[in-house]
Structure 1
Amino acid sequence: MGAREIAEVTELMDDPRLNGERIATLLGSAAAPGAEITVTSVPYEAPEDTRQTCDFVRVVLPGSKGALAGGDAPTLGIIGRLGAQQAQPARIGYVSDADGSTVAIAAALRLLRLAAAGAQLPGDVIVTTHIATHVSITPREPADFMGMPVSSATMNEHEVDDAMDAILSIDASKGNRLINHPGVAISPTAKEGYLLPVAPGLLTVLEYATGAPARTFPLALQDITPYDNGYRHFNSIMQPTVATSAPVVGVALTAAAVVPGSSTGASYEPALLEATRFVVETAKQFTQSRVVFHDADEYDRLVDQYGDLTRFQR
């Protein structure tokens, strides 16, 4: 499940003509009833090449009992985080940084095809990511960083939706020495300035999706604060949490070696497939209220005892 979608999406990612409309055409080929696929283009922001445009892709899959149908089944948000899929003209082909968007789009395509075949989920699913091909590469230890076509705040404006009851934020996370194994790892849950325990239900889904013990990665408080506040961040994987009250879990695609996001030929199909399976299965389980991202009662007790921490979102 998902191998076909990964192959189709990565083929597009490698094309120098890549843009949001091409991705939307692929997603639209699923012909899922009621689905909405939109592309919003915005100009690049300085210091990147402001002659270019960044395409935000948004997919809304209505559930049979979701909010769009007037029901109460929960809505899952799936966000593909990255700098860009390509770094033209410095690189030829798609770079490792594309992993988050590849998985988000592949998961959306699989869910669209399931819906078209009659397997509609109970709750709504909203998938967002962006497409960009011309960004800078910034030298940094232990791995060079890809540039960003727009600010993290602009990405959140287009990718985070108040309708999302919980969010999976997917990102390539190979340029570090904190989680070094080939595959997929998930983060503790972040919510409104609090770092909460790793969700046990998501660990189970990850183990079923990979057939291996679940891997997690550590977060510091700085990682769930805004990207431009001057503090070092693991990467941008947790940035959706500064723009929402919903619980957010990071889904990191990892490697045993330190691999820069700016490297071509460094996206690994087994990890992409495992991450896609995990995201699709989480969508099924969450929209059926079979897994949760956090213990809501415990969170409320924390806030009562230790106070509001939303200042860390600002």
Structure 2
Amino acid sequence: MSMLKYLIEIIDLLDNPNVDGDSVRKFFITKGLDKYLTMSIERVSGEKGATDFVKIIVPGKRGKYNGGDAPTLGVIGRLGGVGARPLIKGLVSDADGAIIALAVAYKLAEMSMRGDVLDGDVIITTNICPNAVVTPHKPAPMMASPASIFELLKREVDPQMDAILSIDATKANLVVKGSGFAITPTIKDGWILKVSDDLINIYMWVTGRLPIIVPITMQDLLPFSTPIYHINSIVQPWLYTHSPVVGVATITETVVPGSASGVTNINTLDETSRFVIEVAKGFTAGSVKFYDEKEWEIIMRLHGEIRHILTRTLPT
């Protein structure tokens, strides 16, 4: 299975100075896929502008959307924006999260149309902003949405999500370098758990390589309202859910700013998208686990909750 067709069309859609949530809606309608998904668009405004929050549900044959009980996977495309106009023209590095999330929605809806319906629902969320803000960050500048990150996170995380893949370009750093993508350990209620064996296996099957793991730290878990260094916002969705969260990071061998244009790597996007699709197939069928429930029970019994310590600066 190749995701190239889906990615090329989504990249073309997003590489437009006038792209917005309605453009995404019209794209799926034009493809005849609106019968196989539901979509909502909400404009979220901030002090420096606005972004369009997009939520897409691709129902499964035994999913909660249709009254079933199969697990629901959340797929979050995390980003500041797909563009940084007028400062920078064209699609930026930070757009990876939105590209992959929408390409996955496109592929899953087409699978449903063809009869390959997943067992459970997949909920895809992201935001579309062609003129986001470039912010200082070492070793390279990052992108920030004109809307509050907390307002977006609240919307990105749906209560129906039983596990979450949070996809984010993670290239403006010196700690996780390589070609393709990397995954984080599982984050649950503030605990950094072991890396999921099931996700490692899918990583190796999809790429044919040993996995690259993001060295996520406690600092990265703290809310962005704690004024310290964060690698980026890849695992921040954990703040608004009790479900397990795994970050899926597109990476590079060199430091690449989130605001850099001309750096969209179709091969990286292809294998990352295929990874997400395969996780969706397995998780909604109940055959893929993000964490070990028995070990989690031991952690809770012996050590207990730590959310309240980590979320002290989280805005209400």
| Residue of structure 2 aligned with 1:150, choices 134, 147, 150 | 147
- Distance in 1 between the 2:254 and 2:72 partners? 36
Aligned to 1:281: 278
Unaligned 5+ segments in structure 1 are none
What amino acid maps onto 2:111 in structure 1?
L
What amino acid maps onto 1:38 in structure 2?
S
Q: Assess if the C-alpha contact under 8 Å between 1:32 and 1:113 holds in 2.
A: no
Q: 1:7 and 2:4 equivalent?
A: no
How far residue 33 of structure 1 moved from its aligned partner, in angstroms, is: 3.7
Q: Which 10-residue stretch deviates more, 108-117 or 215-224?
A: 215-224
- Map residues 1-314 of structure 1 onto 2, 5 A cutoff: 1-28=2-29, 29-31=31-33, 33-43=35-45, 45-46=46-47, 48=48, 50=49, 53-311=50-308, 312-314=310-312
- Distance in 2 between the 1:284 and 1:30 partners? 23
How far residue 153 of structure 1 moved from its aligned partner, in angstroms, is: 0.8
Please give the per-residue CA displacement for 1:73-131, whole angstroms capped at 9, x wherever unaligned: 10000000000000010011110000011101101100000001111101011000000
SS in 1 for 2:167: strand
Q: Assess if the C-alpha contact under 8 Å between 1:224 and 1:313 holds in 2.
A: no
What amino acid maps onto 2:12 in structure 1?
E
- The runs of at least 4 consecutive aligned structure 1 residues that moved more than 6 Å come to none
What amino acid maps onto 1:27 in structure 2?
F
Q: Assess if the C-alpha contact under 8 Å between 2:36 and 2:113 holds in 1.
A: no
SS in 1 for 2:53: strand
- Distance in 2 between the 1:185 and 1:30 partners? 33
How far residue 140 of structure 1 moved from its aligned partner, in angstroms, is: 2.7
SS in 2 for 1:236: coil
How far residue 30 of structure 1 moved from its aligned partner, in angstroms, is: 4.3
- Distance in 1 between the 2:246 and 2:63 partners? 21
- Distance in 2 between the 1:34 and 1:95 partners? 30
- Distance in 2 between the 1:298 and 1:177 partners? 32
- Distance in 2 between the 1:32 and 1:192 partners? 35
What amino acid maps onto 1:226 in structure 2?
P
SS in 1 for 2:243: coil
Please give the per-residue CA displacement for 1:286-312, whole angstroms capped at 9, x wherever unaligned: 001111100111112101101111112
Among the aligned pairs, what percent are the same residue?
Answer: 39
Please give the per-residue CA displacement for 1:261-299, whole angstroms capped at 9, x wherever unaligned: 000011111100011000011100100111110011111
- Distance in 1 between the 2:102 and 2:146 partners? 19
SS in 1 for 2:229: coil
What amino acid maps onto 1:191 in structure 2?
K
- Distance in 2 between the 1:134 and 1:253 partners? 21
- Distance in 2 between the 1:300 and 1:152 partners? 32
Q: Assess if the C-alpha contact under 8 Å between 2:25 and 2:39 holds in 1.
A: yes
Please give the per-residue CA displacement for 1:122-155, whole angstroms capped at 9, x wherever unaligned: 1011000000122222233210121222122101
Q: Assess if the C-alpha contact under 8 Å between 1:64 and 1:121 holds in 2.
A: yes
RMSD: 1.2
- Distance in 2 between the 1:169 and 1:219 partners? 13
Please give the per-residue CA displacement for 1:189-229, whole angstroms capped at 9, x wherever unaligned: 00001000000100111111112111111111121121111
SS in 1 for 2:235: helix
Q: Which 10-residue stretch deviates more, 140-149 or 100-109?
A: 140-149
TM-score, normalized by length of structure 1? 0.96
- Distance in 2 between the 1:169 and 1:117 partners? 27
